[in-house]
Structure 1
Amino acid sequence: MLSARSLFQEIIDNDDSYRLFCSIAASGEAQGGWENARIAALLPESMRDLAPKVTRHGADEDKHGRIFTALLKKRGLEPVPVPPETDYTMLLEQRGIGLTHEKLRRDRPLTEEDILVYLSHSRVTEQRAADQMDMLVKFFGDHPEVGKAIRQICDDEENHLAYCHEELLSLAYAGHGRAIQRTLRQCALAEIAVYRDVSLAVMDHMGRLLKWPAAKRTALSLGIRGMYAYERAGGWRRMVDLRMPERRNALGGPAEPATAY
């Protein structure tokens, strides 16, 4: 029987698939760390009060990248190059979602509109990350090899999501509500398509590494496409609603260290 638990168990148990999984995760988190560090450095003067939180966000992402790399080293494995078709961050940028790396490499201050785009993009992608980590904690939170890492990353992702809700609501109260909703919708509709494409690509690579039969690959492909159809029909709306989080000022302090890694 196909299930998220059984699929992830297969991936963890095989060195080649585990190495690809951790390499993809580490690369994505490292990109997020760099992006947030650049945004913190380029914040407009009117929004400099966000700098500690954006910096903390980036530090958390860097930490997650180190955690995934440490999980590889713990098993005596080295990272592998990330196939471009599985690069979630790059594919979102190619669709015009978020702030481009070209813009972030400049030493020119960002605008308030840029920060609205950054927070909206983060609201959507952090929802995806939080959902995925919740699922992994449910199934593997007590796993002796990856459980501690998953729980720590999951808690951080909940903080990131709370931060996005709180800051976007603050901007909405300041009169940017319509622009925020428009940007959130654009980000969400692009994200669900990219997530579908990346999921198909990752499962294709895993299928070859794990020698899955054609019937299993077909079933997984149908499941991924079915999830996209659900999200396209209305499931995307969970990624754009805004509500005041229970965790207030979630990124108000320094990043929690990952001393075990």
Structure 2
Amino acid sequence: MLSAKSVFQEILDNDESFRLFCSIAASGEAQGGWENGRIAALVPEGERALVPKIVRHGADEDKHGRIFNALLRNRGLEPAPVPPRTDYTMLLERRGIGLAHDKLRRDEPLSVQDLIVYLAHSRVTEQRAAEQMALLRRHFGDHPQVGKAFRMISDDEANHLAYTHEELLRFAASGYGRLIQRTLRACALAEIRVHRDVSLAVMAHMGRILGWSKARRAALAAGIRAAYVYERAAGWRRMVSLRTPDRRDPLGGPATTAPEFA
């Protein structure tokens, strides 16, 4: 039967497809770590209370990258080159979503509006990450090779998502509500397009590695496109709503370590 669990089981069982999966994931997490590090260094004076949380966010992303690389090493595999069409973070930046890397490379303080762009971008992308890791955790949380890693990353992504809700609500209470909603909507609509394109590219690469039939490739591509149609019509709204999270001050402490994966 064609299901998310059966597809990922195939990817997990094959060294080359697992290598590509972990390499794509590690690259994206490392990029997120760099971005958060630069944002933390550029936070304006009036918002310095945010710095430890942004640093924690970046440390978590760096940790996730190390975990995916450790999963590769545990199988005796080297990281694979990341095909450009599967580079989620790069494609989002090209669409103007989030803070431009050129801005982050300059040593100029960010504005409050810049912080809202950063948080809105994180709110949308962490929604996707939290959902995907929750799915992997549900199906493979007890797996002897990847279960512990998936559980740890899933917990972190849930914390990241809660943090973005909390901080955006704080800014909304300060009078930035309309800017936040406009920015969230633009981010969400761009993200679902990028997610569709990246998903199609990843599945095409996996199909070639795993020798999927044309019929199976077509069925998976149709499923990805159908999910996009739903998200374009209504599903994007889950990415722009804001509510007080159950996890309060989720990034208020130091990042947890993962020595068993180092």
Q: What TM-score results when the alignment is normalised by the length of structure 2?
A: 0.99
Deviation at 1:46, TM superposition (A): 1.1
* Structure-to-structure mapping, 1:168-207, within 5 angstroms: 168-207=168-207
User: Secondary structure at the residue paired with 2:6?
Assistant: helix
Q: Counterparts of 1:180 and 1:5 in 2: how far apart (Å)? A: 36
Q: Counterparts of 1:109 and 1:167 in 2: how far apart (Å)? A: 19
Deviation at 1:183, TM superposition (A): 0.2
Between the two proteins, what is the percent identity of the paired residues? Answer: 72
In structure 2, list runs of 5 or more residues that go unmatched.
none
Structure 2 residue identity aligned to 1:43: V
Structure 2 residue identity aligned to 1:236: W
Matched residue, 1:117: 117
Structure 1 residue identity aligned to 2:176: H
Are 1:65 and 2:32 matched, yes or no? Answer: no
User: Secondary structure at the residue paired with 1:72?
Assistant: helix
User: Secondary structure at the residue paired with 2:68?
Assistant: helix
Are 1:213 and 2:208 matched, yes or no? Answer: no
1:15-65 CA distance string (max 9 Å, x none) = 000000000000000000000000000001111110000000000000000
Structure 1 residue identity aligned to 2:257: P
Matched residue, 2:136: 136
Matched residue, 1:151: 151
Are 1:12 and 2:12 matched, yes or no? Answer: yes
Matched residue, 1:258: 258
1:183-212 CA distance string (max 9 Å, x none) = 000000000000000000000000000010
In structure 1, list runs of 5 or more residues that go unmatched.
none
1:145-203 CA distance string (max 9 Å, x none) = 00000000000000000000000000000000000000000000000000000000000
Q: Counterparts of 2:61 and 2:30 in 1: how far apart (Å)? A: 6
Structure 2 residue identity aligned to 1:244: T
Q: Counterparts of 1:165 and 1:71 in 2: how far apart (Å)? A: 31
Matched residue, 1:30: 30
Q: Counterparts of 1:80 and 1:108 in 2: how far apart (Å)? A: 35
Q: Counterparts of 1:116 and 1:123 in 2: how far apart (Å)? A: 10
Matched residue, 1:227: 227
User: Secondary structure at the residue paired with 1:138?
Assistant: helix
Structure 1 residue identity aligned to 2:196: R
Structure 1 residue identity aligned to 2:172: A
Matched residue, 1:236: 236
- Alignment coverage as a number of residue pairs: 261
Moved over 4 A (4+): none
Structure 1 residue identity aligned to 2:214: A
Are 1:76 and 2:79 matched, yes or no? Answer: no
Deviation at 1:259, TM superposition (A): 1.3
Matched residue, 2:96: 96
User: Secondary structure at the residue paired with 2:257?
Assistant: coil
Q: Counterparts of 2:103 and 2:73 in 1: how far apart (Å)? A: 34
Q: Counterparts of 1:205 and 1:43 in 2: how far apart (Å)? A: 39
Matched residue, 2:45: 45
1:97-117 CA distance string (max 9 Å, x none) = 000111111111111110000
Q: Counterparts of 2:117 and 2:93 in 1: how far apart (Å)? A: 12
